[in-house]
């Protein structure tokens, strides 16, 4: 079945990996910060922020893609200044696919990391502060090591979601071969062509292998980190 994959399909696979990786790396720091705020802070508008963060989970992906096109397109509220001042454009480019994937994956990342923050024993942080550690040092030496399994879970969930993102991506950046065509959009395009079932099956197998590989690596890293935390 893998022999049925041509250069265009392999290009889609490599682009999917690049998009998913960039989306995950870009969204993860913001997800950690937002998860910390939602887990530890109380302020007016907290529930509104929580709702906005999780909006991509409940909105149809096509709606999210259209909103991205309106906001980040070359004539959009943010896209127009970016294009005029910096010459940057997201619409119909692979960077736009990464942006769409990051936004769709963001709620899953925040949710997993927030659970990690909520599971941390605040007494450990208080003890470190009592011993003279600054708030920043407590965060980096006590809190974040304990939250690492949640961060890892959020990162893997985000990567898997970004890898399989379809609706928002095809609406925002279309499915241009070699530029914005990822594995899901390539599968969709091949399904419209009679006789391309072997190529479709090959892409499906690659998707399953990538997803399972990410999960296995995540499990291995989670166990390793858990052992380090217990030793520490």
Q: Which residues contact 111 (CB under 8 A, 6 or more apart)?
A: 35, 54, 154
- The percent of residues above 90 in pLDDT, for the chain, comes to 42
Tens of pLDDT, residue by residue over 47-94, are 999 999 999 999 999 999 999 999 998 888 888 898 888 888 888 889
| Contact indicator for 227, 145 with CB cutoff of 8 Å | no
Q: Which residues contact 109 (CB under 8 A, 6 or more apart)?
A: 24, 27, 28, 31, 35, 154, 155, 157, 158
Structure tokens at 193: 């062509």
| Contact indicator for 35, 41 with CB cutoff of 8 Å | no
Which class for 209: exposed (0-12), middle (13-18), buried (19 or more C-beta within 10 A)? exposed
**Phi (first) and psi of residue 116, to 5 degrees:** -65, -45
Tens of pLDDT, residue by residue over 100-135, are 999 999 999 999 899 889 888 888 777 887 877 777
pLDDT at residue 225 tops 80: no
What domains, with CATH codes, occur in the chain?
2-231 (1.10.3720.10)
Structure tokens at 88: 């940057």
């Amino acid at each position: 079945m893998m022999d049925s994959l041509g250069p265009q399909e392999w290009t889609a696979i490599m682009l999917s990996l690049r998009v998913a990786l960039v989306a995950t790396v870009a969204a993860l720091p913001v997800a950690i910060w937002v998860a910390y705020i939602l887990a530890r802070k109380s302020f007016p508008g907290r529930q509104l922020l929580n709702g906005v963060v999780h909006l991509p989970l409940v909105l149809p992906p096509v709606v999210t893609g259209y909103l991205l096109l309106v906001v980040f397109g070359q004539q959009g509220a943010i896209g127009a200044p970016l294009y005029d001042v910096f010459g940057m454009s997201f619409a119909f480019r692979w960077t736009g696919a990464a942006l769409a994937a990051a936004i769709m994956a963001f709620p899953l990342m925040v949710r997993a990391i927030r659970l990690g923050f909520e599971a941390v024993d605040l007494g450990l942080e208080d003890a470190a502060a009592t011993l003279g550690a600054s708030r920043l040092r407590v965060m980096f030496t006590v809190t974040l090591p304990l939250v690492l399994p949640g961060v890892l879970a959020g990162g893997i969930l985000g990567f898997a979601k970004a890898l399989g993102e379809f609706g928002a991506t095809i609406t925002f950046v279309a499915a241009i071969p070699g530029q914005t065509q990822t594995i899901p959009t390539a599968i969709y395009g091949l399904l419209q062509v009679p006789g391309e079932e072997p190529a479709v099956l090959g892409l499906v197998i690659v998707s399953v292998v990538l997803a399972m590989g990410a999960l296995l690596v995540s499990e291995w890293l989670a166990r390793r980190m858990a052992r380090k935390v217990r030793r520490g």
